[in-house]
Amino acid sequence: MIPLQELEKSKHIVIESHKNNFPQASVLYSLMLLKHKKVSLFAKEEEKQYAFLPWYEKLRRNEPASADLKISADMNILELYTFLQKHEIKINAKMATALYAGFLKRYDNFLSPDCNGMLFAVLSELINLGADHQLCVNELTRKVLLSSVRLKSIIFKKVLLKKNARLATVRLCEEDFASSGATWSDVYDIAKELLNLVHVQEVEVTKSDEKDKIIKLSKEV
């Protein structure tokens, strides 16, 4: 999770955000500041939907060479919350709002079948700690970037149904992102919508010019 022993010895920490994990990165950035550490926030792709969260303005596209410790924000939002609780780390309002946003996205606007009483107890606690529920809901469920709408149009136009319409496949190229203004981080939420198509049980989205760029989703039974 977070290497606490290495953290204490480090002088400059870089936090890498990717794959829709900016809420986690925001929490980690706040934590480094609480520990009075020099910290940088880095992401290869912008995560524009999270521009309302604390420290987004600190995001840089190039990784600082001077950092002596890198922490990836690629972690489960519930595991991060549990880690903070286990180590009795005080959650301030900025951290609470970022955590709340992370839970909102992870649990599909709280419509996911994974939602349970424990989750809502955590959300209640975060609101008591200063999480801005209304801000997160307004920004993540009611606002849509034009670039995302354009990319959605491209994806739905390109989708192919295979295996008796149980598998939806889409192959994207760099031109699709250039023409829409979207990034790979925008693909996941759009891909999830393909699971709502009649008969579709699985979704596979690939980027033709980057072999490691692939998203696979399955409908929960």
If asked whether residues 80 and 9 sit together in one domain, one would say yes
Tens of pLDDT, residue by residue over 48-91, are: 889 999 999 999 988 988 899 999 999 999 999 999 999 999 99
pTM over 0.95: no
Please state the domain count of the chain.
2
Domain coverage including residue 122: 4-141
123 and 199 in a single domain? The answer is no
Give the domain CATH number at 77.
3.90.1640.10
**Given a cut of 80, is residue 209 above it in pLDDT?**
no
The pLDDT > 90 percentage for the chain reads: 75
Whether residue 21 is found in the same domain as residue 89: yes
> Is 135 exposed, middle or buried (CB count within 10 Å of its CB: 0-12, 13-18, 19+)?
middle
Residue 212 predicted with pLDDT over 70: no
> Over 129-172, what HEC string results?
CCCCHHHHHHHHHCCCCHHHHHHHHHHHHHCEEECCCCEEEEEE
The per-type count for the chain, helices as H runs and strands as E runs, is 9, 8
If asked whether residues 117 and 178 sit together in one domain, one would say no
Q: What is the pLDDT of residues 82-132, one digit of tens each?
A: 999 999 999 999 999 999 999 999 999 998 889 999 999 999 999 999 999
